[in-house]
Amino acid sequence: MAVGEISGAPTFRVVSRFGEAYVVVFDATVHGHTWQLAGVYGLDEAGKIADMRLYSRPWPVTAFFRGEAYKLMRDQFGPEYWQG
């Protein structure tokens, strides 16, 4: 819910399957700037997500997103989550 509140509905560009993994490429908007993301999802035998990796660019917009996410969720995760 926090992601949707910060960046709105995504615009999907590509959804593709590579073996047992799915790649999803989409755009979102943070503070009026386009935020591009790619997700790589690995599935288990039951078809449920077993592994998920997200990549985003450009870094300044990712930083905007992270700052907004911190404001909304800082009390739900420990301080070690927000380091890095």
pLDDT for the residue 2: 86
pLDDT for the residue 32: 93
Low pLDDT (below 70) residues in the chain = 84
The backbone torsions φ and ψ at residue 12, rounded to the nearest 5 degrees and listed phi first, read -80, 135
Instruction: Return mean pLDDT, the chain.
Output: 91
pLDDT for the residue 84: 65
pLDDT for the residue 29: 95
Question: Taking a C-beta distance cutoff of 8 angstroms, is the pair 38, 57 a contact?
Answer: no
Q: What residues pair up with 35 in beta bridges, in sequence order?
A: 28
